[in-house]
Amino acid sequence: MTPPPAPAMAAESDAVHGGRRRHVLLFPLPYQGHINPMFRLAGLLHARGFSVTVFHTHFNAPDPARHPQYRFVPVPVPDGTSGPAPAAIEDVIAQILALGAACESGFRDRLAAVLEEYSRDAVACLIADAHLLPIFEVTAKLAVPTLALRTGSAACFACFLAYPMLFEKGYLPVKGMSSDPASVRQSQRDMPVSELTPYRVRDLMVFLGDDDRGSLRELLARAVTAVKVSSGLILNTFDALERRELEGLRRDLTVPVFDIGPLHKFSPAGDSSLLRQDRSCLDWLDARPPASALYVSFGSLACMSPRDLVETAWGIAGSGVPFLWVVRPGMVRGSAHQEQELPEGFEAATRGRGMVVAWAPQEEVLRHRAVGGFWTHNGWNSTTESVCEGVPMLCCPYFGDQMGNARYVEHVWRVGFEVGGELERGAVEAAIRRLITGKDGAEMRARAGELKKAAEECIGKGGSSCLAIDKLIAHMTSL
């Protein structure tokens, strides 16, 4: 499906000041799953008449040559702050917290210079990732209105808001989890959180290990603070998918909430991928029958153990199903090789019915008629992209909001199911067959098709997301 044009240009005159475009300033969190939505938002706002300036760190810096219509302003950070993306989620959280603090001084200087150059009244606002609280603190001191972009679901942010309650009522911390995760009773982890239906304790953002530093609690609390001090919350979701959750956020927050997703349907990201996409996989899919192939990708950050790689490989091989598998560099924890080595004999066992690539053009893959299912880590971008193409999911969440997203996929939208417990090749084989060739998979595919139609209505003329974009533009130009 060709992405629709940006909503009507009626508001474009509001983005013009003194005969020139007004400026919107952006600061993304420098991880792939956060960069993509921010650049899609940039494209949408640029189409509505705004000039776009992107502040960024040197870590995962965008390539200005790929986005010639935008201005890029690098923000210096102290040496050693922004090394390569770590594999462990605890270290990712520590890096996010460190990056925010390290940016503060350099961003203050760069922002002041930009405001002087553009003139303050020519700048409509700044939009920053909600995980960058120090950016909101700087803009408050310089009197620059700032909106928060959350790149996860409305349900996920409702969970952020509920974190103090979860500790107060004893859902967290999970008893015994920090000292010996293996000893935690299954029933305790499966306990429903009645205040956050349909979540169970296991679906919350919790560490399955020691968090004496309280870094996860700090990360979530800072994101909540950033939203509460902002001029509005922008969410990459849509009414047909999360109506109840959006109503809850509007009830619980004093700032306006704009559900303007799915952003990838409104605006191309340009080339914001941090890895080179192997487009030859599209030609390979062209030769496959409709809805016959399994697409497997665990995103840009999730890592698996060497054992899980082996069980996944032989499960895929044993299923007999055609597959396209993204095995990105660094995907396996503790591997000495950036390029992952699949088990000996795997290539021979799957020759002629499978393709392995380092990275794929995911939206085009999911849109391809040959793809009948998506084995995913359930990052929010991947989940919504799959929903919007009517592709059912095999869920294998690793950390963060992924467990909650998988819960919604299986128990609310009923367009997929989770591969439970430790990965075992026999269970993997059965799960793949169930999704691609089984009756359950066909029913999930039909329900996914209904969600796809609902998404198309939201982004169509007069749809909820189009109206939300109009409201966002009007809000930005009134600040």
411 labelled catalytic: no
Which amino acid is located at 440 in the chain?
A: D
Q: Taking a C-beta distance cutoff of 8 angstroms, is the pair 23, 122 a contact?
A: yes
* DSSP-assigned states of every residue in 130-192: TT-HHHHHHHHHTT--EEEEE-S-HHHHHHHHHHHHHHHTT-SSPTTTTT-GGGS-HHHHT-B
What's the CA gap between 235 and 154, in Å, rounded?
7
Would you tell me the crossing angle of helices 239-252 and 154-168 to the nearest 10 degrees?
40
CB–CB of 265/453 below 8 Å? no
Catalytic residue among 129, 239, 259, 308: 129
Q: From 423, 429, 434, 420, select the one nearest 310 (Cα to Cα).
A: 423
CB 155 within 8 A of CB 161: no
Those residues with Cβ within 8 angstroms of residue 170's Cβ, 6 or more apart along the chain or in another chain: none
Which residues, 6+ apart, have CB-to-CB distance to 317 below 8 Å? 346, 349, 350
58 given a catalytic annotation = no
DSSP 319-371: H---EEEE--TT-BTT-S-SSPPPPTTHHHHHTTTEEEES---HHHHHHSTTE
From the list 38, 63, 69, 64, the residue with the least C-alpha distance to 51 is 69
**H-type alpha helices, 287-329:** 306-319
Terminal CA-CA length for the chain? 36
Catalytic residue among 34, 46, 377, 475: 34
In 10 A of CB 238, how many CB atoms?
A: 28
- At position 204, the amino acid (one-letter code) is L
Burial of residue 171 (CB within 10 Å: 0-12, 13-18, 19+) is buried
The answer to whether residues 149 and 38 touch, using CB atoms and an 8 Å cutoff, is yes
What are the catalytic residues?
34, 129
